[in-house]
Structure 1
Amino acid sequence: MPRLFPHAAFLPILIASAVSAGAPWPQFRGPAGDGVVVGQSVPLTVGEDENLLWKTALPGKAWSSPVIADGVVWMTTAIEAIPTEEERVAMLRQAGVEEKHLKQRAVAKQIDLKLVSVDFKTGELLRQVDLTTVEQPDPIHPLNSYASPTPVISGGNVYCHFGTFGTFCVDRTGGEIVWSRRLPLDHAVGPGSSPFVDGDRLVLIQDGMERQYVVALDKSTGKTVWEVDRPEMVAPSGDQKKAYCTPIKIVDPRGREQLICMGSQWIVAYQPETGNEIWRAYHGKGFSVVPRPVYGDGVVYFSTGFGKAQLWAVRVDGEGDVSSSHVVWTVPKGIPTKPSPVLHDGLVYVIDDNGIASCFEADSGQLVWKKRIGGKHSASPLLVDGRLYFGSHEGTVTVMSAGRDAEVVSESQLDGQIMASFAAVENSLVIRTADAIYRFAE
């Protein structure tokens, strides 16, 4: 049962978040960053020989999601020089990894970070842009990659972020690097936060072990526009202060623009132009937060991350510390630590890491239904034309009808592991697996 707070009846103005058919796919989770697509019809079933327009093998290893504009699909990747098991253990010990964590870390001797482009119509591999080579990169979690943050397209450029390994602005026409920055950070298990473009600024959440902050860069030059530290946290170590979330931008019922940046222990809203704090809410001891928040009707919905993941709903019309005044409801169990939620037509959908999908009332947090999908899940679900699309580590694509009487309507199987979130453009479903990129259409 959700814990309901007395503000649950608050129903402010709805801010539209869905985007019409034919729009490009410029960022993580689509044009509005919420995984909701209307006005398109993508295939109900997919497969290695079903509704497949093309499949293109990709170099390297990366969990970043594809972004699409002007007939080109863009992705980042990392080409790893793999050590032997003996070398791996020695490198991890040299990096200061504790003995008990050796099996929980991966490392490469060298990584070549690249930007890859594919023709949306034909699947032809168009270009590989060499961004940087990193000798002896930091260790990562075995489930992570060195290229997990999703790039973002804005104007004639694509912005690639690899956390501590570098941030790059690349010209989409010629493939030249316009500028690059390196903002060192101890991620502990590798990078995860995707960049976000807000007007003339590129916003990065930098929640590491030793320091947690948000920075806005001039997207034309890469120079810092503003930088702000996160609220003070109480934790035994930096491991419980780090996070991997991606910002969202909203306009609240009072007409204020807000840049909402979820982190460990706190969710914070900032003024986009200055970085000044608008409000903050303490959500407990959750850390290593991955899911991107969603917003509607004056309320932001978010997962609290690792520890014991919960789903929270918080009103955004406050100022200062709103922890005791603006929490609408919380759901204490069955919530994902990696896949992001979907908000649509008054319902919040989630799928937890172990493949159990749930639906909640957006205004009360009451459970509508819970169904076992199966598999392990990291990719965020996609809602297209009234259907929910899920991708699992095992390469299974599951489609459910959305709504109060949802049911599984199809299951399809692809050859590779799915960690990246799907894209939907021009009535096509674009799926990246561990080894390839696919385009499906009827």
Structure 2
Amino acid sequence: MHRLTSGLFLCLLFAVIAAADSWPQFRGPNGDGKVDGQNVPIRFSDSDNVSWKTPLPGKAWSSPVVADGVVWLTTAIEVFPTEEERIEILTKKGIEPKKFKQLQVAKQIDLKVLSVDLESGAVTRTIDLTSVEEPDSIHSLNSYASPTPVIDGDNIYCHFGTYGTFCLSRETGTIKWQRKFPLSHSVGPGSSPLIHGDSLVLIQDGINSQYVVSLNKATGETLWKTDRPEMDAPDGEQKKAYSTPIAITDQQGRDQLICMASQWMVAYEPKTGAEIWKVRHGKGFSVVPRPVYNDGVVYFATGFGSGKLWAVSVDGAGDVTDTHFKWESSKSIPSKPSPLLHDGLIYVIADDGIASCFDAESGDQIWKKRIGGKFSASPLFVGGYIYLGSHEGVVTVLKPGKQAVVAAENKLPGQIMASPAVVDNALILRTSEALYRIESK
């Protein structure tokens, strides 16, 4: 009995240690932006409480992922055209001149994955994945390497939307397999991959086709591919989406892949891709935020054009729009940052810098506060505080609760577009200029 108890204790201890050392996917171990048992500074600057700062090549809004003392990041090295060449490229692609200002063009992109030593900040490996001639134009606020990689066992999976999906050995850096799913994203790739069991799940919602695909994570072989529900839209621009899936087990014991789309939220059976249930959320499109789940309810933002926060019960089957909808709110809802759920309260930061808190049960707005700045990165909860990083490089730290309390504001050089990671009581934060390890000194 003593040996059994000791063994159980060691297993639990190793699990805690592994959790502390690992940040394997977008928004952390559970994909919800929360981490337990960790503490990071609430006050820092470009030099204060910084253990190291490592400049990064290229441009990418993908978040860092961490395992076994190594930080992994993707990036895109761009070769830019002259202004004359830029206009010529956009014109040749049939894009309306009124959209030229909001689009970014590259003559070539080189997609890479970097490994950084967690202890020292040294770049230990740069792995070339692919080069793309004349890639599609993207929105000026996007990058060619925005999807966050995912770590699973010995492998890391890097996804770049239409430009390719790669499975690499973390030990050797070799590419084990790669696939390509051509898609017109309109404004560039955005959805991050999800590992569930033996599969890699990708949301592929472009303007020309919309579907979810599951791949064998060991071989890259397609296991299933399921088209999205029919949409009522004048063109593909209102059908595209960039959300990242989540995996849950509902209170009936059913495994579900919850995959947000324009106009629809859909839950799929993980092994077959069959629809379990779906909800029509309206005309929302270009959906970016990742849903969050708790206690039988999924919470999600509905994107551009119809920005609302919805709560839906997940225990239904078929079209449950009229039966399982719980509540909605249209007050200062984000189009890009994901929601954060903690202790029965939902926190959101709108793209225009307005933070809000909602009651998860009723949907009532409890408070609203202008933080200032523009936001794309998703909120992080760690050490009893909420961290919000802005385009202006400001990290605002809030105290959670039914009062809006700002605990600190911190300024770093460059934009913050990537959501941060936390390991070993350190904040691993990517800006447009560098990667930081921030921890108490």
Superposition deviation, residue 23 in structure 1 = 4.3
Q: Secondary structure at the match of 1:22?
A: helix
2:98 aligns with 100
Partner of 1:186: 184
Q: 1:23, 1:275 → 2: CA distance?
A: 33
Q: Report how far residue 406 of structure 1 moved.
A: 3.5
Say whether 1:27 aligns with 2:25. Answer: yes
Alpha-carbon distance, 1:308 to partner: 2.4
Paired amino acid for 2:304: F
| Paired residues of 1:21 and 1:39 also in contact (CA < 8 A) | no
Tell me the CA shift for residue 20 of structure 1. 8.8
1:340 Cα deviation (Å)? 0.2
Which has the larger share of helix?
2
Segments ≥4 residues shifted beyond 2 Å: 18-21
Q: Say whether 1:71 aligns with 2:69.
A: yes
Q: 1:308, 1:333 within 8 Å by CA — same for their partners in 2?
A: no
Shift of 1:405: 2.3
Matched with 1:14 is none
Matching residue of 1:224: 222
Deviation at 1:416, TM superposition (A): 1.1
In 1, the alpha carbon distance for the partners of 2:373 and 2:114 equals 29
SS state of the match for residue 316, structure 2?
A: coil
One-letter amino acid matched to 2:377? A
In the superposition, the TM-score normalised over structure 1's length comes to 0.95
What does 1:35-46 correspond to in 2, within 5 Å?
35-46=33-44
Give, in whole Å, the separation in 1 of the partners of 2:388 and 2:375: 8
Match of residue 327 from structure 2? 329
Taking the aligned partners of 1:304 and 1:390, their CA distance within structure 2 comes to 20
Taking the aligned partners of 2:284 and 2:331, their CA distance within structure 1 comes to 13
CA deviation profile, 1:108-129 (whole Å, cap 9, x unmatched): 0000000011000100011110
Rounded to whole Å, the distance in 2 between the matches of 1:41 and 1:438 is 16
Answer whether contact 1:287 1:306 (CA < 8 A) is retained.
Answer: yes
Using structure 2 for the length normalisation, give the TM-score: 0.95
Which residue pairs with 2:6 in the alignment?
A: none
CA distance in 1, matches of 2:422, 2:106: 33
Measured in 2, the distance between the counterparts of 1:429 and 1:114 equals 23
Give the counterpart letter for 1:432 in structure 2.
R
- Relative contact order higher in (CA < 8 Å, ≥ 6 apart): 1
Question: For this pair of structures, how many residues does the alignment match?
Answer: 425
**1:371–1:21: structure 2 CA closer, same or farther, 3 Å change rule?**
farther
Is the 8 Å Cα contact of residues 429 and 440 (structure 1) preserved in structure 2? yes
Equivalence map 1:206-285=2 (5 Å):
206-285=204-283
Q: Is the 8 A contact 2:21 2:66 kept in 1?
A: no
The structure-2 alpha-carbon separation of the partners of 1:251 and 1:291, relative to structure 1 and needing over 3 Å to count, comes to: same
Counterpart amino acid of 2:373? Answer: G
1 CA distance for matches of 2:254 and 2:34? 23
* Gap runs ≥5 in structure 1: 1-17
Structure 1 contact 20–39 (Cα < 8 Å) conserved: no
**2:301–2:310: 8 Å Cα contact kept in structure 1?**
yes
The residue type paired with residue 178 of structure 1 is K
Contact 1:36–1:384 under 8 Å retained in 2? yes
**Residue 315 of structure 2: which of 289, 314, 317 is its match?**
317
Work out whether residues 378 and 419 of structure 1, in 8 Å CA contact, stay in contact via their aligned partners in 2: yes
Aligned to 2:358: 360
Inter-partner Cα distance in structure 1 for 2:427 and 2:332? 28
Q: Deviations over 1:254-290 (max 9, x none)?
A: 1111000000000000001110110000000000000
Who is 1:13 aligned against? none
1:307 and 2:324 matched = no
2:431 equivalent in structure 1: 433
Instruction: State the alpha-carbon separation in 2 of the partners of residues 164 and 92 from structure 1.
Output: 19
